[in-house]
Structure 1
């Protein structure tokens, strides 16, 4: 996987990578990560990726991170893991 660029953001760590004919957007928050794969044929210019990460999209990403945390805590509680 080849690193292309960091995409600055106040709440998340966002990295853009290229691998196997795809651009990969990795969004991280704490221990959680979301990955989005975009075919290089669908996106000819990787510089366009930051415009795709608009506020409505990132608000849903944030909600998904909150849901991931809720699910992780719930399974920990059910299984006396932490």
Structure 2
């Protein structure tokens, strides 16, 4: 697995990787992680993969992290009384 880039972001860790014919966009915030896989055939090299990391996409993933946290907190409360 090759690290293509660590993308600076104040809200989460964003890493672009290349592995087995795919680009992986790995986002981490606290205890939560999201990974998106894109075929190398669907983008124009490393630069094309980086272009996918636009403001709208990153904002949507940040909102998803909030939803993930809320869902996890809810299940812990339901199941740990």
Q: Fold-level match, TM-score > 0.5?
A: yes
Alignment of 1:47-62 (within 5 A): 47-62=47-62
How far does residue 45 in structure 1 lie from its aligned partner after superposition? 1.5
Q: Distance in 2 between matches of 1:48 and 1:8?
A: 17
Secondary structure of the residue aligned to 1:66 is helix
How far does residue 48 in structure 1 lie from its aligned partner after superposition? 2.6
Structure 2 unaligned segments of length 5 or more: list them.
none
Secondary structure of the residue aligned to 1:41 is helix
Alignment of 1:34-53 (within 5 A): 34-53=34-53
TM-score (structure 2 length as normaliser): 0.89
Q: Is the 8 A contact 2:16 2:50 kept in 1?
A: no
Once superposed, what is the RMSD of the aligned Cα atoms? 1.4
Secondary structure of the residue aligned to 1:11 is coil
Query: Greater share of helix residues, 1 or 2?
Result: 2
